[in-house]
């Protein structure tokens, strides 16, 4: 038996084939989709959790060094790590929201895997992070009685990272190594938009040229594919793949840009010093750039606290900078972006939304209009549409249909933008979250029988 595994930026899901039908497995509270999140008492708890409670050995000398350091630091903090201290999915978000200051919280670690210039100890930590999340998911697969020895893991056309193919190789290597450590024996990869196309292909009664637009949390991938009865059962599909494009821009970027342009004013964005100078913009971008390792490290670094205090001391509106200091001390960047995500969803139905920003003991009421949201997210939206145009230019043919998938493809704003590019081509969709996973399960059956 084999499975398809979508280790997604926003959510993870797993499916296996029951005869000719993909079946998604329950991964959290009988739900098939588990958010790609982890919460722990400290950053160093991740490696110790793997070794102590998952019985997974560290990877090589660097992994052993990371484990020794992690255990030593936890002992210094007098942390006696219990298995329930590391949480995943919705449970992880609940832990973080209940006590952000005392919680190490990670969302979308897949976004970090292609980052270049990392030290070996950082790469080992990212692998342990992925390994912990995979180990939790594999334990849930085991409860279902499904044999998961053989797995096809989805991957974007291009992982997030500035290294091009070096970023892609690094990210895939981390995923492969983590998968092996948790017990997957035979591992293959498939492009996520191609997998989504395989699920759509199962519904076709005649051959078509289809543009698959997969807009996930961290990446947008487009594939122009020939599909239909002629191709359905072939395990070699290179000849059917006409064009690919992909970039590190997705639903998270829409949320981050909306947070930056509309929610950071109460924290001092665009405010001035006593001498009339504008506050440095990066101090308002970095805390909410949750998919950028460098930005997060820069804002939450100990030495940045001195700069933030200096900004507060010299602020014309110090009460706003006091809130930014609270973001630093309480690690509230993820919470602000979550507020932006909720606003984005609500504005798909309403012309304006009023929300409350909870900043520990402080509350700020904000009203955001739909037009302001559209302006805020215009830059990442244009990047997404440029990828659609790139795939069409590469392919040199007009598709018979556009198949949109991925959680962010639900957005009426993005669907309308695709329709404007291809006004005479039908835009269809299946399961926004499940089509990639189902396609990966279909491909696993072709790969492993």
Selection from 36, 382, 406 nearest residue 219 by Cα: 406
Sign of CA pseudo-dihedral 160, 165, 166, 169:
positive
Structure confidence by residue, pLDDT tens digits, 342-392:
999 999 889 999 999 988 778 899 999 999 999 999 999 999 999 999 999
Phi, psi dihedrals of residue 273, rounded to the nearest 5°: -80, 175
- What DSSP line would sit under 227-277, residue for residue? ESTTTTT-S--GGGEEEEEEES--HHHHHHHHIIIIISGGGTTT-BBTTSP
Structure confidence by residue, pLDDT tens digits, 279-301:
999 999 999 999 887 899 899 99
pLDDT-based confidence at 35, cuts 50/70/90?
very high
* Beta strand residue intervals within 80-123, DSSP E: 87-88, 104-107
Q: How far apart are the two ends of the chain, measured CA to CA in Å?
A: 8
pLDDT-based confidence at 155, cuts 50/70/90?
very high
State in words which class domain 2-192 has: alpha beta
Residue 360 confidence (pLDDT): 78
Of the spans 54-68, 96-110, 240-254, which averages the highest pLDDT?
54-68
Residue 38 confidence (pLDDT): 96
Residue 241 confidence (pLDDT): 87
Please give, one letter per residue, the 3-state secondary structure of 181-217.
HHCCCEEEEEEHHHHHHHHHHCCCCCCEEEEEEEECC
User: Does residue 256 contact residue 383 with C-beta atoms inside 8 Å?
Assistant: no
Tokens representing residue 246 in the block: 């992909």
Mean pLDDT of the chain: 93
CATH 3.30.420.40 fits 206-250+379-428, yes or no: yes
Structure confidence by residue, pLDDT tens digits, 215-236:
988 889 899 999 999 988 777 7
Numbered ranges of CATH 3.30.420.40 in the chain = 2-192, 206-250+379-428
Q: Is the pLDDT of residue 161 over 80?
A: no
Phi, psi dihedrals of residue 401, rounded to the nearest 5°: -160, 155
Q: How far apart are CA 418 and CA 294, in angstroms?
A: 32
Residue 164 confidence (pLDDT): 83
Residue 444 confidence (pLDDT): 94
pTM of the full structure: 0.79
Residue 7 confidence (pLDDT): 95
């Amino acid at each position: 038996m084999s499975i398809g595994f979508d280790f997604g930026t926003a959510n993870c899901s797993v499916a296996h084939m029951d005869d000719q039908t993909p079946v998604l497995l329950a991964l959290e509270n009988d739900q098939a989709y588990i958010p790609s999140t982890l919460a722990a008492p400290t950053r160093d708890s991740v490696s110790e959790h793997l070794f102590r409670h998952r019985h997974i050995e560290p990877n090589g000398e660097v992994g052993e060094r990371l484990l020794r350091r992690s255990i030593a630091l936890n002992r210094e903090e007098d942390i006696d790590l219990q298995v329930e201290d590391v949480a995943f999915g919705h449970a992880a978000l609940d832990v973080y929201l209940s006590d952000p200051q005392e919680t190490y919280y990670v969302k979308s670690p897949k976004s970090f895997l292609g980052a270049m210039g990392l030290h070996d100890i950082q790469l080992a930590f990212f692998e342990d992070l992925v390994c912990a999340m995979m180990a939790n998911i594999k334990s849930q697969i085991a409860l279902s009685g499904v044999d998961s020895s053989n797995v096809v893991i989805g991957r974007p056309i291009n992982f997030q990272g500035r290294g091009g193919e070096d970023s892609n190789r690094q990210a895939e290597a981390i995923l492969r190594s983590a998968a092996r450590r948790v017990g997957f024996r035979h591992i293959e990869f498939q492009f996520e938009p191609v997998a989504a196309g395989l699920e759509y292909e199962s519904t076709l009664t005649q051959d078509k040229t289809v543009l698959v637009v997969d807009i996930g949390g961290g990446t947008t991938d487009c594939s122009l594919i020939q599909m239909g009865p002629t191709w359905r059962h072939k395990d070699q599909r290179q000849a059917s793949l006409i064009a690919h494009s992909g970039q590190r821009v997705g639903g998270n970027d829409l949320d981050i840009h909306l947070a930056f342009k509309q929610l950071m004013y109460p924290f001092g964005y665009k405010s001035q010093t006593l001498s009339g100078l504008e506050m440095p913009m990066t101090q308002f971008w970095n805390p909410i750039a949750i998919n950028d390792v460098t930005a997060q490290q820069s804002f939450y670094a100990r030495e940045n606290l001195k700069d933030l205090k200096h900004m507060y001391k010299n602020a014309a509106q110090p009460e706003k900078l006091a809130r930014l200091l609270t973001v630093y001390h309480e690690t509230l960047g993820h919470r602000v972006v979550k507020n932006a995500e909720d606003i984005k969803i609500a504005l798909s139905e309403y012309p304006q939304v009023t929300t409350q920003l909870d900043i520990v003991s402080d509350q700020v009421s904000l009203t955001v209009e739909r037009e302001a949201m559209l302006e805020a997210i215009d830059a990442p939206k244009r990047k997404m549409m440029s990828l659609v145009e790139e795939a069409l230019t590469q392919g040199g043919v007009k598709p018979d249909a556009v198949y949109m998938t991925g959680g962010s493809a639900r957005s009426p704003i993005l669907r309308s933008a695709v329709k404007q590019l291809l006004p005479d081509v039908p835009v269809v969709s299946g399961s926004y979250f499940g089509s990639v996973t189902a396609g990966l399960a279909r491909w696993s059956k072709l790969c492993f029988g």
